Amino acid sequence: MPTKTIRSKADLAINGASPAFAELLHVGRPNIGNREEFLRRVNQVFDNQWLTNNGPMVQEFERHIADRLGVKHCIAMCNGTIALEIAIRALGLQGEVIVPSWTFVATAHALYWQGITPVFADIDPVTHNLDPSAVRRMITPRTSGIIGVHLWGRAAPIDELQAIADEHKLKLMFDAAHAFGSTYKGQTIGRFGACEVFSFHATKSFNTFEGGAVVTNDDTLAETMRLMRNFGFAGFDNVIHPGTNGKMIEICAAMGLTNLDSHDEVVAINKRNHAAYTTALANIPGISVLPYGSTEDNSHHYVILEVQKGFAATRDQLVAALQAENVMARKYFWPGAHKMKPYRDLYPNSGLLLPNTEQLAERVIVLPNGANVTDEIIDIIRSVITINIH
Ligand SMILES: *Cc1c(COP(=O)(O)O)cnc(C)c1O
């Protein structure tokens, strides 16, 4: 795919040369498993003549996920956002709920959409996850819960958040959208808090086209969420709970079952690439690749580059230079949820309490990862970064 070697500023597309790559190299390009297996399952769906409504594929998918994560219940949903909304409602959250601003905006939206006020707490600039002392500072008499996010698949400080929740009688749940297959102190993510919510969106390390799930060991909570997912139906004609339509369809479950088979391979490729990026970009002043803890596993799906003030170009100049070469690097989660219009209107000054979030939002670039990334690609990305692009 590379079309040229970059040796000097004049070779850069941003300076008028042709892009290094003929095709766009996207962040979050989907991981697609064995096509024949998927199509075999699609044929099975047609043979079953059961397209949705808790069909056999969804039931099999839920069993596989629950077994793999070591949790009692998996409730598959149409996407991660609806899964968050249903979990929030089933837990009875209300008033204010503490969340990071340094996350995908859906974490905050899932609350606000339901008339609950997201209260943003600052993060630890080293881990990018919630800072427990910042969470403590945001508790008020109206606080009903905390939603921790395992950002970039790295486990949030679960024990510390659980201690705060217990002390203040708050509900704790996790947005585990990035954390499929991650571990915390040797235990798989999925068993922590009251429940954990996954997204299986196409851009995540493991996908079902669109999809999500709530996993929990709480029987009552699981039962409530199953009802809510299907309009509150407890059987034909018998509605016993308010509900919505959060169902996963059979084709999505078929994709999930197929992709589960290759997820370990995807993770191995991501880890290899992450290590290659880390080596290639080491010793460049002002540039660092976020390391993941050696004692906690994660999919290494996200390669996070931090551009410090000392670097020769700004973060935005670097993103522009990479994109000019067709490396579609992204500024996740710029500018931070608290600066997006609905929440900026709600809290014009919230940035004062979020200094680490604001600084990181100006520094981070997400680089492409997955099976399409090769050493040659990483080498060209290195050249773009190391050539002074001023
Ligand atoms: C992707 C994502 C979601 C939303 O999941 P969808 O399946 O896209 O609805 C929620 N939270 C975080 C942190 C995410 O990255």
Provide CATH 3.40.640.10 ranges for the chain: 35-259
Mean pLDDT of all residues in 274-303: 95
pLDDT in tens, 184-209: 999 999 999 999 999 999 999 999 99
187 alpha carbon – ligand 1 mean position (Å): 22
212 alpha carbon – ligand 1 mean position (Å): 9
| Percent over 90 (pLDDT), the chain | 93
Contact 207, 254 (CB under 8 A): no
| Percent over 70 (pLDDT), the chain | 98
| Cβ contacts of 283 within 8 Å, gap of 6 or more | none
**Integer Cα distance of 147 and 130 in angstroms:** 10
What burial class does residue 140 get, using C-beta atoms within 10 Å of its C-beta: 0-12 exposed, 13-18 middle, 19+ buried? exposed
Length of the chain: 390
Query: Would the pLDDT of 388 be above 80?
Result: no
The two beta strands, 117-121 and 96-100, are parallel
Q: Which atom of ligand 1 is nearest to the CA of 210?
A: 7
Look-up of token digits 């850069």: 12
User: 3-30+262-387 has which fold?
Assistant: Aspartate Aminotransferase, domain 1 (3.90.1150)
Mean pLDDT of all residues in 51-56: 97
- Tell me phi and psi for residue 222, to 5 degrees: -60, -45
What's the mean pLDDT when you consider all of the chain? 96
Query: Would the pLDDT of 237 be above 60?
Result: yes
Q: Which atom of ligand 1 is nearest to the CA of 106?
A: 10
**Integer Cα distance of 186 and 198 in angstroms:** 19
**Integer Cα distance of 276 and 272 in angstroms:** 6
Catalytic annotation present for 204: yes
**Integer Cα distance of 370 and 197 in angstroms:** 23
pLDDT in tens, 363-373: 999 999 999 99
**Integer Cα distance of 198 and 31 in angstroms:** 16
Predicted pLDDT at 376:
93
- According to DSSP, the residues that pair with 303 across neighbouring strands are 367
Q: Which atom of ligand 1 is nearest to the CA of 83?
A: 9
Residues contacting ligand 1 via CB (< 6 Å): 79-81, 103-104, 106-107, 149, 175, 177-178, 199, 201, 212
pLDDT in tens, 57-109: 999 999 999 999 999 999 999 999 999 999 999 999 999 999 999 999 999 99
Angle at 108 between CA 335 and CA 146, to 5 degrees: 120
In this structure, what DSSP letter does residue 290 have?
P
pLDDT in tens, 299-333: 999 999 999 988 999 999 999 999 999 999 999 99
> What's the pLDDT band for 2 if we cut at 50, 70, 90?
low
Tell me the angle at which helices 315-324 and 375-386 cross, rounded to the nearest 10 degrees. 130
Candidate from 88, 104, 149, 334 with most ligand 1 atoms within 8 A of CB, to mutate: 104
214 alpha carbon – ligand 1 mean position (Å): 12
80 alpha carbon – ligand 1 mean position (Å): 5
Q: What is the pTM of this model?
A: 0.97
Determine which residue's CA is closest to atom 6 belonging to ligand 1.
80
> What's the pLDDT band for 390 if we cut at 50, 70, 90?
low
Contact 343, 118 (CB under 8 A): yes
106 alpha carbon – ligand 1 mean position (Å): 6
pLDDT in tens, 139-195: 999 999 999 999 999 999 999 999 999 999 999 999 999 999 999 999 999 999 999
73 alpha carbon – ligand 1 mean position (Å): 20
The dihedral over CA atoms of 252, 102, 179, 147, expressed in degrees to the nearest 10, equals -90
Predicted pLDDT at 389:
65
- Sheet order of strands, 96-100 included: 73-77, 212-216, 196-199, 171-175, 143-149, 96-100, 117-121
Instruction: Out of 27-36, 44-53, 253-262, pick the least confident.
Output: 27-36
- Of the candidates 169, 171, 204, 247, the residue annotated as catalytic is 204
Determine which residue's CA is closest to atom 5 belonging to ligand 1.
80
> What's the pLDDT band for 120 if we cut at 50, 70, 90?
very high
Predicted pLDDT at 282:
95
Q: Which atom of ligand 1 is nearest to the CA of 199?
A: 7
CB atoms < 10 A from the CB of 236, how many?
Answer: 5
User: 35-259 has which fold?
Assistant: Aspartate Aminotransferase; domain 2 (3.40.640)
Candidate from 78, 81, 207, 249 with most ligand 1 atoms within 8 A of CB, to mutate: 81
Contact 333, 105 (CB under 8 A): yes
199 alpha carbon – ligand 1 mean position (Å): 5
Contact 178, 204 (CB under 8 A): yes
Provide CATH 3.90.1150.10 ranges for the chain: 3-30+262-387
Determine which residue's CA is closest to atom 2 belonging to ligand 1.
177
Q: How far is CA 37 from CA 56, 62, 149, in A?
A: 16, 18, 33
